[in-house]
Amino acid sequence: MEKKYFKLYNKYYFKNLSLVSYYAGKIVLNELYKLYKFTSVVDFGCGTASWLKAANEIIKNNKGLTGIDGEYSKTIHIFKNVKYIYKDLESKISINKHDLAISLETAEHLSPKRAKGFVKDLCLAADVVLFSAAVDGHGGTNHLNERTQSYWINLFKKNTYDPFIFINRKKYWFHKTFKKCPYYISGSFLFIKRRTKMYKKLIKYKVKKDTVVDIVHPYILTWRKDDNFGLKMNLRRLLISLKRYLIRKLSLSSL
């Protein structure tokens, strides 16, 4: 998986993504921190480390931040005070237990056969897991395993973790911060291990049996209404890369 990333995404894409993710992470993690004073965080599929940077600014008693991703991510991190582990996420990941594990919009990039093991690795890493993955039909570059939210919920349940919705979705549903990343609001869940202190403490946020979990944010539906969405996105990335290339060429030729 990791070897393909710089062919599929350029560094300018990652730069833009890091800002979008960072501001979203600040809001989501701050809301969680009000309920759960986590002191250590591990991010599976950390990419630019935007969420870890946000976590660092929120945690008052920081006992360690860990980022896990492929070799491709070495040159795109925006935050240094992290223990980075460079490993293909298609492989089993063993890590010391943290207060909080996060994996956001990563699982869809892994093969379907990796799904069960990936969820198990997350559960072994923390009793509290913040998770989201692109829903079925979302569409995207190198999306190998788009699934409904209930699919992932069932995998977590098999590991004795239940879903919670701690963030006020109504408040942030159309918030400007999430305009480019609405999936953090509509598709993320906090999974907590049963019979733990946090499970009892946050019980009022537990997803009820009659809750409809398989939902898609209208922003995503708008993106998908355009039959040429994928083509336009790739063309846009190509034009940005071409522009940057020409600027560099002209700059060098003027020396």
Domain definitions of the chain by residue range: 2-217
Residues 6+ apart with CB under 8 A from 2: 69, 70, 71, 72, 73, 88, 89
Nearest Cα neighbor of 146 from 93, 201, 106, 195 is: 106
Q: Which residue has the tokens 């006020």?
A: 168
Inter-axis angle of helices 229-253 and 11-33, nearest 10: 120
Q: CATH number for the 2-217 domain, one of 3.40.50.150, 3.30.200.20, 3.20.20.70, 1.10.287.810?
A: 3.40.50.150
pLDDT at 226: 60
Residue whose C-alpha is closest to residue 118's, from 167, 72, 151 = 151
So what's the pLDDT on residue 142? 84
CB contact burial 205-220 (16+ within 10 A = b; e otherwise): ebbeeeeeeeebbebb
Residue type, 218: P
| Cβ–Cβ < 8 Å for 121, 93 | yes
Secondary-structure breakdown of the chain: helix, strand, coil percentages, each rounded to the nearest 5: 50, 15, 40
What is the structure's pLDDT at 221? 86
> What's the pLDDT at 252?
64
Please state the three-class secondary structure of 98-163 as a single string. Answer: ECEEEEECCHHHCCHHHHHHHHHHHHHHECEEEEECCCCCCCCCCCCCCCCHHHHHHHHHCCCEEE
Terminal CA-to-CA distance of the chain, rounded, Å?
39
Distance CA 13, CA 48 (A): 11
- Map tokens 């491709």 to a residue: 72
How many C-beta atoms lie closer than 10 Å to residue 97's C-beta?
A: 11
Helix axes 50-58, 11-33, angle to 10 degrees: 30
What is residue 123's predicted lDDT score, i.e. its pLDDT?
A: 98
pTM here? Answer: 0.84
Give me the pLDDT at residue 249, please.
67
pLDDT in tens, the chain (255 residues): 444 544 444 454 455 567 899 999 999 999 999 999 999 999 999 999 999 999 999 999 999 999 999 998 998 999 999 999 999 999 999 999 999 999 999 999 999 999 999 999 999 999 999 999 999 878 777 899 999 999 999 999 999 999 999 999 999 999 999 999 999 999 999 999 999 999 999 999 999 999 999 999 999 888 876 655 556 655 665 665 676 667 666 766 665
Instruction: Give Dmax (Cα) for the chain.
Output: 67
